[in-house]
Chain A
Amino acid sequence: MKRKAILIITWIWLSVLAVTGLLAPILSTDKPWVVKHNDKWLFPAFSNAHAEIVLPKESLATAWKLKPFEFSIWPPCTYRPGNTDWMNISVSPLDKQFFMNPYNEIVEIPIKYRHWLGTNHKGEDVLAAVIYGCRHSLAVGLFSMILAGVIGVLLGMIAGYYQNHGIQVSLGSLTGGLTGIVPALFYGFVRPSLILPDDSEKEANAWLMTAFISLLIFCGLLAIFVLFGKWMGKKIPVLNKNISIPADAIITRITEWMNAMPKLFLILILAGLFNKTAIGLVLILGFIQWTGIARIVRAETLSLRQTTWTESAISLGLPGLRIVIRHLLPHILPSFMVVFILGIASSIMAESSLSFLDAGIPDNWISWGTLSGNGKRHLENWWLLAVPGTLLLFTLLGLSVLADHYRRK
């Protein structure tokens, strides 16, 4: 079948990309994988312990290439991003490339040290940048969609399964929770944030830990207040009434609002606000992309809710969580996969657009978008744009084909 062949090619292509991204630091390095030195086998690319090897011109990026070894195995790309090769500046993949050997003679480059995809205006290898770019682009796309998937499935399921009358809360716990917000906010977030440590030196990732502890205190205090309210409700009959929370209406409304914002603008502006870290980028994309998933999951859950087997599961007295996880989730999976894969594609596209515009991305960020942006500034060197552009196009194409396949299923 022709369609099956296309699918297999797509899977192979996507797995090649995934493996490349995963193994980027090994595939693209300026040190050999294996060398034989003084009758000892060494693995410079995998460990930093190579004290016994004295390199000529240690400061040079090509230092390892200048040392004649008895035997050596090199990675497919013998450069790291950032390595500048001043012998080959702005050479195309087809051009003749040069190499200065240990005896300071300029010769044609040995085939294993070739810049397979050319170099840019600084003499940086394009293949190395593309390998690392693959790692970053895919990681941002995948992790942001995992975050979006968790939020989307959770909210979509709640909206679809419980609808507007499914969640019942006693008036007591509601009042308890509402009164608990102020102290929980205070002890969780306000008071810790007000106190500045005397020594301004803080760890780089300390804010994540602090935020986690703050969230823990906040939730704990809120829970205490809610439980107290519930307990009070049992004593005071007025507070014992049940109120249903219109979960569906609230979640649908939020999704609508989120959709009302132009997404790329929002990402652009938010990305300018965050500290320009990769984690920040993932968080922003995740918190913006969940609406599509939530909408699909909600619609699917809504229609599944009306099937007879769900009804019978409910009448059997199974708990809601069990029904949702064991019975509904597997049925939602195919349509979820479609949105998820398309979401990865659109995350990658958003990330590369941001990188292309050079706005809101971390410093020294390498991705296919930044490479394309660089290519746009040096249009006379066609390979600088063509390589990352083609890769981006084919990656997105592969994801679209995969999504199409899941939709047909």
Chain B
Amino acid sequence: MRYILKRLLLLIPSLFLLVIAGFLLIESAPFNPEELALETEADINRLADLSQKEIQKKQIRRKYGLDLPVFYFRVTHLADIDTLQRISSSTERQLIRQLLIRNGNKSAVMNYYQSLKEWLDYSIINLQTEKDSLVSESVRDAHAMALSLVSTWNTETIEKQINSIQQIYDSTEINERLKQTFHVFKSSFILLKEQSQPWKTWIPSLRFNANNRFHRWMFGNGKECKGIIRGDFGISWHNQRPVLPYLFPKLLWSALLTFISVLMAYAAAIPLGMAAASKHNSVFDRMLQTVLLILFSLPSFLAAIILMRTFSNPDVLNWFPTGGIAPTGGFDQHDSFMHRLLKTIPYLILPVIAYAYGSFVFITRLTREQLIQEEQKAYAVTAKAKGLSKQVIFRRHLLRNSLLPLITVFSQVFPASVAGSVIIESIFTIPGMGQEALLAVYQMNYPVLVAILFISGLFTIIGYLISDVLYVFADPRIRLDKNKPD
């Protein structure tokens, strides 16, 4: 019991590692949900649309927690600010980041950014209200230049741009308010240039943030997001539904297939391995070895296709349906559970074989090798000398001692078959987790990917745990040996 408890405790860091890996995955996604959600293009010249879009963007950023810093702590330079993520436009974020690392004066940079934004707003308003076409032409030019300032952080280039805008503004009759905001902006730029503190950007600093994206993702924020720890994997970016309820039925199919195939693999492999070992070096043994070697080298997708083309092909043998999991049109509503199961079985046979053969080959070879090794040990020779039949020796004496490596393998067979599900399910079109994972990879749907990674990792860990428990049953020494270093 203590042994099992100890193993259970060891699971916690593994789970934690899985969570961190999942979080890193989501964070390194090449695009954000905000970009997915904002596919409707608004006319950038119309202020109403622009501000509408701005508000919408802010809401989405808050919904996905993108307005928070990434992690509990981060390494950065002394002049960096912590609230950068609250700005919704990625270009503006980049502008501030670049100005900060080049200039080093926090307040001057923020002042510059704010006056730039204000001036741009007035510029847009002015652009829309201006009636005179000649004036509006040059103002339009000036506005285009001003917009390019948002993605410019080289001081000399900014200065050049400002000077040419100044020339345009001087030569045309424009709104007094616009001129004023432009002057404010210009003076903030001069301030930025004069008050630069580049030494600050060379000093490292470690920042802490209690409220961050990881915390929100892991523990939830008490409102819309419940956090991984309560089983909330977020919302699928593709169909905007919660991930876990959506994945659950698929998980059941995958788990069923994996379970049946692992069970079948063991049930078929151990007797076969025993038979081969007891007739060691016979013709049967050698034939089996060769066949197993070939099967071992057969990639599972080839095996699946060969099975499909042989047993569900109208030209060869049309025994089983090609793919899917249920008869076309679904089950009859009045069917009982047993009926449904019976109707499903033909759909399951080929996938289960394709699933199981890899582990089956592996286990058979291992059983055979293990038994042959055990047979040469002293206790087996003694048993033989006592006059016991070969059958009895194998079943009573050798099998139990050969079980340990087989149990170790159990923890490896499990992840292998979970991964194998990707290929088999996509070939046999089974609506399981593997197919969902493939779809999520194609669509770059990261929350679903993370959930699948987490679930399959959990499955694997459970496999490890089961094999640990089985160890105790197979080998009583493990139970007694309390000081055994794991």
Q: Which A residues contact B (CB, under 8 angstroms)?
A: 182-183, 185-187, 190-191, 194-196, 198, 253, 256-257, 259-266, 268-269, 272-273, 345, 349, 352-353, 356-357, 359-360, 372, 376, 379, 385, 389, 392-394, 396-397, 399-401, 404
For B438, list chain A residues within 8 Å (CB): 268, 357, 359
* Interface pair B75/A397, CB less than 8 Å apart: no
* Interface pair A393/B457, CB less than 8 Å apart: no
* Interface pair A191/B423, CB less than 8 Å apart: no
- A-B CB contact pairs (8 Å), 17 listed: A183-B204, A187-B204, A195-B98, A253-B13, A260-B14, A260-B18, A260-B460, A261-B456, A263-B416, A264-B420, A272-B441, A353-B422, A356-B423, A359-B442, A360-B441, A376-B427, A389-B305
Taken together as a complex, chains A and B put the C-alpha atoms of A399 and B296 apart, in Å, by 11
Selected contact of B301 from candidates A259, A372, A397, CB within 8 Å: A372
* Interface pair B294/A265, CB less than 8 Å apart: no
Taken together as a complex, chains A and B put the C-alpha atoms of A268 and B30 apart, in Å, by 16
* Interface pair B305/A385, CB less than 8 Å apart: yes
| Given contacts A198-B154, A349-B299, A268 and B457 within 8 Å (CB-CB) | no
Taken together as a complex, chains A and B put the C-alpha atoms of A352 and B303 apart, in Å, by 14
The chain B residue sitting closest to A358, CB to CB, is B442
* Interface pair A400/B297, CB less than 8 Å apart: yes
The chain B residue sitting closest to A385, CB to CB, is B305
Interface residues of B in 444-466 (CB under 8 A from A): 444, 449, 452-453, 456-457, 460-461, 464
- Chain A min CB distance to B164 (Å): 18
Taken together as a complex, chains A and B put the C-alpha atoms of A345 and B358 apart, in Å, by 14
Selected contact of B452 from candidates A265, A352, A393, A396, CB within 8 Å: A265
* Interface pair B101/A353, CB less than 8 Å apart: no
The chain B residue sitting closest to A390, CB to CB, is B302
The A/B interface has a contact count, at CB < 8 Å, of 141
Judge if B234 is at the interface, Cβ distance under 8 Å.
no
* Interface pair A393/B464, CB less than 8 Å apart: no
Taken together as a complex, chains A and B put the C-alpha atoms of A376 and B423 apart, in Å, by 13
Judge if B293 is at the interface, Cβ distance under 8 Å.
yes
Q: Which B residues contact A (CB, under 8 angstroms)?
A: 13-14, 17-18, 21, 25, 28, 30, 75-77, 94, 97-98, 101-102, 153-154, 157, 201-202, 204, 206, 293-294, 296-302, 305, 309, 411-412, 415-416, 418-420, 422-423, 426-427, 437-438, 441-442, 444, 449, 452-453, 456-457, 460-461, 464
* Interface pair B423/A260, CB less than 8 Å apart: no
Taken together as a complex, chains A and B put the C-alpha atoms of A349 and B202 apart, in Å, by 48
Selected contact of A396 from candidates B201, B299, B309, CB within 8 Å: B299
* Interface pair A353/B297, CB less than 8 Å apart: no
* Interface pair B101/A195, CB less than 8 Å apart: yes
Taken together as a complex, chains A and B put the C-alpha atoms of A400 and B301 apart, in Å, by 18
| Given contacts A196-B94, A269-B449, A273-B25, A262 and B418 within 8 Å (CB-CB) | yes
Selected contact of B294 from candidates A182, A253, A397, CB within 8 Å: A397
* Interface pair A194/B453, CB less than 8 Å apart: no
Selected contact of A182 from candidates B75, B305, B419, CB within 8 Å: B75
Taken together as a complex, chains A and B put the C-alpha atoms of A356 and B420 apart, in Å, by 13
| Given contacts A194-B101, A198-B154, A265 and B419 within 8 Å (CB-CB) | yes
For B76, list chain A residues within 8 Å (CB): 186, 190, 194
- Chain B min CB distance to A234 (Å): 27
* Interface pair A353/B301, CB less than 8 Å apart: yes
For A185, list chain B residues within 8 Å (CB): 75, 204
- Chain B min CB distance to A13 (Å): 13
Selected contact of B426 from candidates A266, A269, A357, A392, CB within 8 Å: A357
For B77, list chain A residues within 8 Å (CB): 186, 190-191, 194
The chain B residue sitting closest to A194, CB to CB, is B101
For B453, list chain A residues within 8 Å (CB): 261, 265-266, 269
The majority secondary structure among interface residues of chain B is helix
- Chain B min CB distance to A342 (Å): 10
* Interface pair B419/A264, CB less than 8 Å apart: yes
Q: Give 10 new A-B contacts, CB below 8 A, not counting A269-B449, A385-B305.
A: A190-B77, A257-B17, A262-B415, A263-B416, A359-B442, A372-B301, A389-B302, A396-B297, A400-B293, A400-B297
For A259, list chain B residues within 8 Å (CB): 411-412, 415
- Chain A min CB distance to B161 (Å): 14
The chain B residue sitting closest to A355, CB to CB, is B301
Taken together as a complex, chains A and B put the C-alpha atoms of A379 and B442 apart, in Å, by 23
Taken together as a complex, chains A and B put the C-alpha atoms of A394 and B297 apart, in Å, by 8
Taken together as a complex, chains A and B put the C-alpha atoms of A272 and B305 apart, in Å, by 25
* Interface pair A268/B422, CB less than 8 Å apart: yes
| Given contacts A186-B75, A186-B204, A385-B305, A261 and B457 within 8 Å (CB-CB) | yes
Taken together as a complex, chains A and B put the C-alpha atoms of A277 and B448 apart, in Å, by 24
The chain B residue sitting closest to A352, CB to CB, is B299
Taken together as a complex, chains A and B put the C-alpha atoms of A388 and B297 apart, in Å, by 14
The chain B residue sitting closest to A164, CB to CB, is B485
- Chain A min CB distance to B484 (Å): 14
For A359, list chain B residues within 8 Å (CB): 438, 441-442
- Chain B min CB distance to A355 (Å): 10
- Chain B min CB distance to A404 (Å): 7
- Chain A min CB distance to B23 (Å): 13
Selected contact of A392 from candidates B302, B411, B416, CB within 8 Å: B302
* Interface pair A265/B309, CB less than 8 Å apart: no
The chain A residue sitting closest to B154, CB to CB, is A198
- Chain B min CB distance to A265 (Å): 5
Taken together as a complex, chains A and B put the C-alpha atoms of A345 and B298 apart, in Å, by 11
* Interface pair A265/B422, CB less than 8 Å apart: yes
For A262, list chain B residues within 8 Å (CB): 415-416, 418-419, 456-457, 460
* Interface pair B297/A393, CB less than 8 Å apart: yes
For B301, list chain A residues within 8 Å (CB): 352-353, 356, 372, 376
- Chain B min CB distance to A295 (Å): 11
* Interface pair A263/B293, CB less than 8 Å apart: no
Selected contact of A268 from candidates B202, B296, B441, CB within 8 Å: B441
For B460, list chain A residues within 8 Å (CB): 260-262
For B154, list chain A residues within 8 Å (CB): 198
* Interface pair B457/A260, CB less than 8 Å apart: yes
- Chain B min CB distance to A63 (Å): 37
* Interface pair B28/A353, CB less than 8 Å apart: no
